[in-house]
Structure 1
Amino acid sequence: MGPETLAQVLGKLPQFHDENLIVGIETSDDAAIYKVTDEIAMIQTVDFFTPIVDDPYMFGQIAAANSLSDVWAMGGEPAVALNIVGFPNCLDPAILGDILAGGAAKVKEAGAVLVGGHSVQDDEPKYGLCVSGFVHPQKIFKNYGCRPGDILVLTKQIGSGVVNTAIKAEMASASAIREAQTVMASLNQKGKRVVEKYNVSACTDITGFGLLGHCVEMASASEVTFEINVRDVAYFADAIDYAKMGLIPAGAYKNRGYSIGKVDVGSVEEHYLDLLYDPQTSGGLLISVAPDDLPAMLKDFQNAGMDTEVSIIGKVAPKSDKWIRLF
């Protein structure tokens, strides 16, 4: 027998049932939600990763923003955070101090409290947060429930993995580096507080599976088809040029292999597919919203003072033979 896949291993874990568990792992949603009272539900999430930028403080900011994002993607607000740290003994502890300071700054900006955490010795640095938040049980954003006729809105640019690959190759422009770091460190809090005002049928944040991976999850769980206009998606500065040059992270190819059979790519160019499958770090919110609410929502996004680009990327159609159609 060959080595077991991660899905096979996880499939051997016992299933847990609790009448107060509102959202578990079954729908691949952003976080778990547990009902505490009729008016309070707890959101629980955890995320951490290795450095994607050289500056320790910026790495801490980005990792913390990424960890906090799941709470807003579920419609809640973060309350308590714990650090998760892996750090080599051979590195200067001051570097770890800068990482933690960056993370703490983002937790404070989010209005949550940082209450310690846990660290282990590791061969390479790793950092993230375990975050608890709260939401009203009747106001949860889920990653399914999209309605035919809804409009698909994205609150951050796509292409951070491609830009980071260009940075590692020392081929990224200064403007592309600044934009990528600003967007990855940007909290989804402002976006969520706009979204919660409107008739939103589903919401998720775009992270490691890339835009198309998360679209496939949302569309299949909703039993609908997404029609996406690839040129309407907002991309990072220079990301299209870098993709044409082949500066593609390995994760993009893994994402494509997982779900390409569920996507009608039409005549879309290869570099756009690479960007749409590009694994994102601290990506934006993908929202399915009623068309009547779209004009007011876009105006609120503009008035919110967001430092990311909001784009209308397509619409929700009745279920067809593919979950996604690209144009």
Structure 2
Amino acid sequence: MHLSSDTPVRLTRFAHGGGCACKIPPGELEDVLGGLSGPVPAPGDTPLLVGTATGDDGAVVSLPARGGTAARAVVATADFFTPVVDDPYDWGRIAAANALSDVYAMGGRPLVAVNLLAWPRDVLPFELAREVLRGGLDIATEAGCHVGGGHSVDDPEPKYGMAVTGLADPDRLLRNDTGRAGMPLSLTKPLGLGVLNNRHKATGERFEQAVATMVTLNRDASAAALAAGAVCATDVTGFGLLGHLHKLARASDVTAVIDTAAVPYLDGARQAVRDGYVSGGTRRNLEWVEPFTDFGSADAGTRLLLADAQTSGGLLVAGEVPGAPVVGELVRKGAHSVVLK
């Protein structure tokens, strides 16, 4: 079967998952990656500042100062996923913003990206793929990031994203292992993207507030965090707020306390949870963090939203970010990596 360009297409019907909810579960991924690391660089080589050890958002390699040029760091990352919305242009914009986010989460500036496209060429018209790529290009252009080609494969399931290379100051990185007790925690985008996207996939309802949130670059939030002197951050995507915060707390050897009343949510998110639009990825996130979390009196709906698999979510910064709500703080190491109050 091949759908013509005149046939209305719901792209989410061609995906087993949606957006970052289709990630491999965090526990399974850590089992796969355990013990895998690159060779130790020889003296004089460019050092790897951030690798796989702490599960940070991107790899960072230091470039030494030469010829009067200040030392710089290269940030490398890749991110792609199945359709999270039905509109191909919006999907392209969301996927690009999500891929660029990893560079911003490290305190970097995206420099160049290449497209990663998987397309069922015998089923979906290439006019739709063009719209996906156009959306990605428009977001990269907004970010001041070049798009220099890419790679495509024939695949039964559509997927799109980018591999991104950025630059950063090696002395002003945002890392997930530099949190210290006493730092406040700021969240720069509201939660609930996962459940609203899952409702969209099931019903076709369009949630403009979710699309607007997902296509918003984390550029300004990253710049504000650096300007405020922050050194620790991560972005909140497929593993949910609790999953990414657990990784940050573990890497920094601290416990994080979240004030559940201070966490912002998108309009309609709680209703979507009550109506049952919770992805399998979100439930796997919650199962993974349960042994490391003291949930206090948080109800079942709140727990699911805090573990909700976000797509192109905001930054979680250990420090105050102008305009972003403070949702908790880092405290001394304790029995749990995350405590809800």
Q: Shared fold (TM-score greater than 0.5)? A: yes
SS in 2 for 1:196: helix
Mapping 1:1-327, distance limit 5 Å: 6-11=29-34, 13=36, 15-18=38-41, 20-38=47-65, 39-89=71-121, 90-170=123-203, 172=205, 177-289=207-319, 294=320, 297-298=321-322, 301=323, 310-327=324-341
RMSD: 1.5
What is the CA-CA distance between 1:125 and the residue it aligns to?
1.0
Query: Which amino acid in 2 is paired with 1:259?
Result: V
SS in 1 for 2:94: helix
What is the CA-CA distance between 1:227 and the residue it aligns to?
1.0
Query: Which amino acid in 2 is paired with 1:197?
Result: A
| TM-score normalised to structure 2 length | 0.86
SS in 2 for 1:200: coil
Query: Which amino acid in 2 is paired with 1:72?
Result: Y
Matches of 1:132 and 1:244, distance apart in 2: 40
Q: Deviations over 1:73-119 (max 9, x none)?
A: 00010000000000011211100000000000001000010010010
Q: Deviations over 1:22-64 (max 9, x none)?
A: 1000010000001112411100000100101000000000000
What is the CA-CA distance between 1:244 and the residue it aligns to?
2.0
What is the CA-CA distance between 1:229 and the residue it aligns to?
1.0
Query: Which amino acid in 2 is paired with 1:32?
Result: A
Q: Which runs of 5+ in 1 are unaligned?
A: 302-309
Matches of 1:217 and 1:32, distance apart in 2: 16
Q: How many residues align?
A: 304
Matches of 2:112 and 2:180, distance apart in 1: 34
Matches of 1:198 and 1:12, distance apart in 2: 36
SS in 2 for 1:69: helix
Query: Which amino acid in 2 is paired with 1:94?
Result: E
Matches of 1:156 and 1:318, distance apart in 2: 26
Comparing 193-202 with 177-186, greater Cα deviation is found at 193-202
Would the aligned equivalents of 2:257 and 2:329 in 1 still touch at CA under 8 Å? yes
SS in 2 for 1:138: coil
Would the aligned equivalents of 1:46 and 1:128 in 2 still touch at CA under 8 Å? yes
What is the CA-CA distance between 1:14 and the residue it aligns to?
5.6
Would the aligned equivalents of 2:190 and 2:265 in 1 still touch at CA under 8 Å? yes
C-alpha change, 1:13 and 1:226, in structure 2 (3 Å) is: closer
What is the CA-CA distance between 1:8 and the residue it aligns to?
4.3
| TM-score normalised to structure 1 length | 0.90
Equivalent in the alignment of 2:17: none
C-alpha change, 1:223 and 1:11, in structure 2 (3 Å) is: closer
Query: Which amino acid in 1 is paired with 2:196?
Result: V
Matches of 1:105 and 1:274, distance apart in 2: 33
Query: Which amino acid in 2 is paired with 1:270?
Result: A
SS in 1 for 2:232: strand
Query: Which amino acid in 2 is paired with 1:27?
Result: T
C-alpha change, 1:226 and 1:52, in structure 2 (3 Å) is: same
Query: Which amino acid in 1 is paired with 2:278?
Result: I
Identity of aligned residues (%): 39
Q: Which runs of 5+ in 2 are unaligned?
A: 1-27, 66-70
Query: Which amino acid in 1 is paired with 2:56?
Result: D
Matches of 2:235 and 2:340, distance apart in 1: 20
Would the aligned equivalents of 2:256 and 2:330 in 1 still touch at CA under 8 Å? yes
What is the CA-CA distance between 1:199 and the residue it aligns to?
2.4
What is the CA-CA distance between 1:124 and the residue it aligns to?
1.5
SS in 2 for 1:169: helix
What is the CA-CA distance between 1:171 and the residue it aligns to?
7.6
What is the CA-CA distance between 1:136 and the residue it aligns to?
1.2
